[in-house]
A and B are shown apart, each in its own frame.
Chain A
Amino acid sequence: AQSVTQPDIHITVSEGASLELRCNYSYGATPYLFWYVQSPGQGLQLLLKYFSGDTLVQGIKGFEAEFKRSQSSFNLRKPSVHWSDAAEYFCAVHLSGGYNKLIFGAGTRLAVHP
């Protein structure tokens, strides 16, 4: 069955430090992959997506993610974290077959220390 695993429930980093959030997926076909961010009381905002082509994708707010087929991973990175990046981050895989259906991971909550 298709699934998305985010191994880290909670991560704390210092402002200015680098960040990597892990995401592993289980899906038989070539996946479409997404990262969303959710700030408190807000809906989900798309950070970036991977459909095909270059395996390193750039997103908004200085985020990037790398698709590694051999590891079934799509990790999110940012070289220098800002306090405003504190939020919950969700990785998702899109299921094909005619429907635009997303399967989300459980999320990683990011806290940023000043």
Chain B
Amino acid sequence: EAGVAQSPRYKIIEKRQSVAFWCNPISGHATLYWYQQILGQGPKLLIQFQNNGVVDDSQLPKDRFSAERLKGVDSTLKIQPAKLEDSAVYLCASSLGTINEQFFGPGTRLTVL
């Protein structure tokens, strides 16, 4: 069974630029999550999708971050414009549903200069 795929693995941009990350969850997983992991901290949930609907985006900085999950499969997370403090690893995870194990992708390491 293929795992959660993410791309790119690394990205370096300058502040005020835009960036987008892509995630392909495990086939059949209805729930998809985006986490932000700042160096020295645990992952923090940014947004959670159930199929193609948002169920929790309370921690998403909506003035600059956006995410979508068209057709309930792949998802993209966008930052526009980026700030220095957005430097982090962005992890995508998926699960069959609620109270199921979350499977994590390898993450995208973003550096904002």
Residue A2 at the chain B interface, CB threshold 8 Å:
no
Q: Can you list 20 A-B pairs, Cβ within 8 angstroms, ordered by A?
A: A32-B99, A43-B91, A43-B104, A43-B106, A44-B43, A45-B104, A46-B101, A49-B101, A51-B99, A90-B42, A90-B43, A96-B99, A99-B56, A100-B48, A100-B100, A100-B102, A101-B56, A104-B43, A105-B42, A106-B40
CA distance A43 to B99 in the complex (A): 20
CB-CB < 8 A to B75: which residues of A?
none
Q: A41-B106, A106-B41 are in contact. List 18 more A-B contacts (CB 8 A).
A: A32-B99, A42-B106, A43-B93, A43-B105, A44-B93, A44-B104, A46-B102, A90-B42, A90-B43, A99-B56, A100-B48, A100-B95, A102-B43, A104-B42, A104-B44, A105-B42, A106-B40, A107-B42
Residue of B nearest to A90 (CB): B42
Given A41-B106, A43-B4, also A98-B98 (CB < 8 A):
yes
Distance between B77 CB and nearest chain A CB, rounded to angstroms: 15
Q: Say what secondary structure dominates the interface of chain B.
A: loop
Residue of A nearest to B45 (CB): A101
Residue of B nearest to A92 (CB): B42
CA distance A58 to B42 in the complex (A): 23
CB-CB < 8 A to A45: which residues of B?
104
The residue among B3, B31, B55, B102 with the most chain A CB atoms within 10 A of its own CB is: B102
Chain B 76-107 near chain A by CB (<8 Å), digits 1 or 0: 00000000000000010101011111101111
Give which listed residue, A4, A49, A51, A102, contacts B45 with CB less than 8 A: A102
Residue of B nearest to A88 (CB): B42
CA distance A41 to B107 in the complex (A): 8
